[in-house]
Amino acid sequence: MSKSQINLILLTQYFENRANETLSLSDLTAIFVEHSDKWNLPRSMTLQRFLAILLRRTKLREVKLKSPSYSPLLRYTWGNDASPVSVANSIKDGAFFSHASAMWIHGLGEDDKNIFINKEQSEKPPNSGQLSQDAIHRAFRNQQRHSKLTYKYQHATITVLNGKNTGRAHVGPVTTPSGHKVDVTSLERTLIDITVRPGYSGGVSSVLRAYRLAKNRVSVKRLLSILDEFDYTYPYHQSIGFYFNRAGYNEADQALARTDGVQFDFYLCHGLKDPAFDSDWRVFFPRTLK
């Protein structure tokens, strides 16, 4: 059977219906296997020939994602207008949008140019060590490390995170402000994540603003339940209590955050120089925080 007998009409209709998706080579492989008969593809056709025909005779385009620290990635889009959200969604199977991207999706922030997707680490044994004040001071003395797995695409920087393993807890499908269907952390988990890693969230001022915007929408009980479930080593409930206080949450909500006590001096973020200190929550914070 010659290539002229390939049913390009059906093939084109299929890809037009997925025009807002960005595809990997494995996606195209699955499509090739599933639809070969329906599109009258020759039995002798290889994936490489199929891909060559798509690139030559249809609107399928190859996109090269470049990283300053890692090898480039190849992805495929229908036409030239794939959005950064669509491209980010194709980078890692099982990843989900988090931190500043989750803030944008939930209406807690406006940054759609720095995209964060989280591919969780494999499960590790729990940390059985005892927390001490000296250990906290040492851990938060220097700046927090940042992921170097970044890609540039159009106006956006896409950062791939390898977060704490939670089994993708409190992650679900939503539609973004740009109209894409993606998986994202829940409102409550988002507030926890940005408290833990403010460097991926626009900084502590952006985190405080997010708490203010979430005040009448968030379930404080659910948020603190998730925090207990995640079982962090450090007392992030003190940071959350600090944000509750500064964002104007009621006394009952602040009391819930205080359930586990205020036992240590803690830090709102890493690498603070000449910080201010909130004696109520025993939290060091930037003097510039309004």
What is the arithmetic mean of pLDDT over 89-100?
A: 97
165-196 pLDDT, tens digit per residue, is 999 999 999 999 999 999 999 999 999 999 99
35: number of Cβ within 10 Å = 16
106-148 pLDDT, tens digit per residue, is 999 999 999 999 999 998 887 777 899 999 999 999 999 999 9
- Predicted confidence at residue 290, as pLDDT, reads 76
Residue 46: partners with Cβ closer than 8 Å, 6 or more residues away: none
* Helical axes 187-196 vs 220-230, angle rounded to 10°: 50
pLDDT score of 3 more than 70: no
- Predicted confidence at residue 180, as pLDDT, reads 92
How many C-alpha atoms does 165 have within 13 Å on its Cβ side? 6
Closest by CA to 217, choosing from 185, 187, 243, 176, is: 187
User: Do 89 and 24 contact (CB within 8 A), yes or no?
Assistant: no
pLDDT score of 216 more than 80: yes
pTM over 0.75: yes
pLDDT score of 2 more than 50: no
Q: pLDDT class for 227, splitting at 50, 70, 90?
A: very high
- Predicted confidence at residue 4, as pLDDT, reads 53
In angstroms, the CA 212 to CA 234 distance is 23
Q: Is 202 left (phi over 0), alpha (psi -120 to 50) or beta?
A: left
In angstroms, the CA 243 to CA 87 distance is 33
Domain ranges of the chain: 3-62, 84-285
Structure tokens at 264: 């240590």
What is the arithmetic mean of pLDDT over 33-52?
A: 95
Collapsing DSSP to helix, strand or coil, 134 comes out as: helix
- Please state, rounded to an integer, the average pLDDT across all residues of the chain: 95
